[in-house]
């Protein structure tokens, strides 16, 4: 006798299956450890944060500092355990019935599907073309269905790294009354945001992360921006005290010392462009530049061999070839100068020997 929701039985649990190697260039992580960078500040601030209590002034301070950074009002945002938790709550809040669904372009961030499935929300996809272009007409046609509750735009997109144009975003916003989520996880790399539109479009929601530009993947801190009324509704499905005081304290310290992290992000962008230029010189290798901290690579039918060769040389990349238009594609996270140099060296070595 099965004791859980019927459609859970056939689902698989979320599993991040990546190689564990010395040079982890597979998960879009940063090489800058925030604790090591601002350790003294974190320890000093924690002296006034008592973990035996639920409440602390640090929560209000974090709302103030985060609103200042995001350039919104405090009642226009809410934060939690990474963007993933913000997605989970949003999907929970929009699911009306078993017929409810969200729509997203594909390929895109794979956990949109994971968390939709988790809350019993179906997700439908509109495939990008071979040039990663978006079919806005097809997207809006699906979104017009009464059972569509949410339109998802990953901008820049993961794993293609491309941006929607402003014209495309505005066309979508102007042609639907459904909620529109713009995932700006890589905002600090792309420098493109639509948060200035939240006062004009009451159906606009934006999510952002500290995992990328703020080097804090292991901290699990993300936030959601929208108009104040939407924030009130979302809080109705959130658990009380959903994020620990220690996490809030570290996030506050990161914001107060954000110049350190944003300078590192600028360096990563510089490294990305340098690595792209070097890879472009390698015969037969297709390389796609992005507005993120990663690049896309393909060596046609030898891509899997390249992927395995790099693993053998202690370099972990991400295989993103599950979607038909991404067949024979792998993704590399821009890392330290040493990691980047060794990676390019090994790709060159493989191409010389095998191609």
Question: Which DSSP string corresponds to 122-165?
Answer: EEEEEE--TT----HHHHHHHHTSTTEEEEEEESS-TTT-PPPP
Per-residue model confidence (pLDDT) at position 12: 85
Average pLDDT, the chain: 97
Q: Which position has the higher pLDDT, 355 or 332?
A: 332
Per-residue model confidence (pLDDT) at position 18: 81
Per-residue pLDDT, 177? 97
Given a cut of 90, whether residue 194 has pLDDT beyond it is: yes
> For residue range 116-128, what is the model confidence (pLDDT) as tens digits?
999 999 999 999 9
Instruction: Indicate the pTM of the whole model.
Output: 0.96
Q: Helix, strand or coil for residue 329?
A: coil
Residue carrying structure tokens 């355990």:
81
Residues 19-44 pLDDT 10s: 889 999 999 999 999 999 999 999 99
pLDDT of 28: 97
* Separation of alpha carbons 288 and 266, rounded Å: 19
Cα–Cα distance, 238 to 257 (Å, whole number) = 29
Percent of the chain at pLDDT exceeding 90:
94
pLDDT band at 142 (very low <50, low <70, confident <90, very high): very high
pLDDT higher than threshold 90 for residue 2: no
Q: What is the mean pLDDT of residues 86-96?
A: 98
Burial environment of residue 309 by CB neighbours within 10 A (0 to 12, 13 to 18, 19 or more): middle
103 three-class SS: strand
Identify the weakest region by mean pLDDT among 17-31, 49-63, 216-230, 253-267: 17-31
**Using an 8 Å Cβ cutoff, are 18 and 316 in contact?**
yes
Domains of the chain with CATH codes: 20-32+259-354 (3.90.1150.10), 39-256 (3.40.640.10)
Distance CA 68, CA 290 (A): 28
Percent of the chain with pLDDT over 70: 100
H helices of the chain, in order, are 34-37, 39-46, 58-70, 82-94, 111-119, 136-143, 166-174, 187-190, 228-235, 245-256, 258-280, 303-312, 337-354
Residue 46 vs residues 42, 64, 245, 249: alpha-carbon distances, Å: 6, 18, 9, 7
pLDDT band at 15 (very low <50, low <70, confident <90, very high): confident
What pLDDT shows up at residue 14?
Answer: 82
Answer yes or no: is pLDDT of 105 > 90: yes
What does the pLDDT look like over 301-340, one tens digit per residue? 999 999 999 999 999 999 999 999 999 999 999 999 999 9
**Which of the 8 DSSP states describes residue 70?**
H
Compute φ and ψ for 182, nearest 5 degrees.
-110, 115
Q: What is the pLDDT of residue 118?
A: 94
Q: Summarize the confidence of residues 250-271 as an average pLDDT.
A: 98
């Amino acid at each position: 006798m099965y004791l859980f929701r019927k459609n859970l039985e056939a689902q698989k649990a979320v599993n991040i299956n990546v190689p564990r190697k010395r040079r982890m260039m597979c998960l879009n992580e940063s090489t800058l450890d925030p604790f090591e960078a601002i350790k003294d500040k974190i320890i000093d601030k924690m002296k006034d944060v008592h973990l035996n209590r639920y409440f602390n002034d640090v929560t209000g301070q974090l709302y103030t500092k985060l609103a200042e950074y995001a350039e919104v009002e405090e009642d226009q945002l809410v934060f939690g355990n990474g963007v993933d938790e913000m997605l989970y709550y949003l999907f929970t809040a929009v699911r009306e019935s078993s017929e409810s669904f969200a729509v997203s372009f594909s390929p895109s961030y794979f956990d949109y599907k994971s968390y939709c499935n988790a809350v019993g929300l179906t997700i439908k996809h509109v495939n990008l073309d071979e040039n990663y272009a978006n079919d806005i007409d097809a997207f809006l046609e699906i979104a017009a269905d009464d059972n569509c509750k949410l339109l998802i735009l990953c901008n820049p997109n993961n794993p293609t790294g491309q941006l929607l144009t402003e014209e495309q975003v505005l066309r979508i916003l102007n042609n639907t009354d459904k909620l529109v989520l713009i995932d700006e996880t890589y905002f600090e790399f792309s420098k493109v945001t639509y948060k200035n539109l939240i006062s004009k479009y009451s159906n606009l929601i934006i999510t952002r992360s500290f995992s990328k530009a703020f080097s804090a993947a292991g901290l699990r801190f993300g936030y959601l921006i929208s108009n104040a009324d939407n924030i009130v509704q979302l809080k109705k499905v959130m658990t009380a005290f959903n994020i620990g005081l220690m996490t809030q304290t570290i996030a506050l310290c990161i914001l107060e010392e954000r110049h350190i992290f944003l300078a590192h992000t600028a360096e990563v962008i510089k490294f990305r462009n340098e690595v792209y230029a070097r890879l472009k010189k390698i015969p037969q290798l297709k390389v796609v530049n992005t507005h993120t901290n990663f690049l896309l690579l393909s060596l046609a039918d030898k891509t899997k061999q390249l992927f395995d060769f790099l693993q053998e040389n202690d370099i972990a990349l991400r295989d993103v070839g599950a979607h038909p238009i991404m067949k024979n594609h792998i993704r590399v996270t821009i890392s330290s100068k040493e990691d980047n140099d060794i990676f390019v060296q090994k790709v060159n070595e493989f191409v010389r020997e095998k191609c």
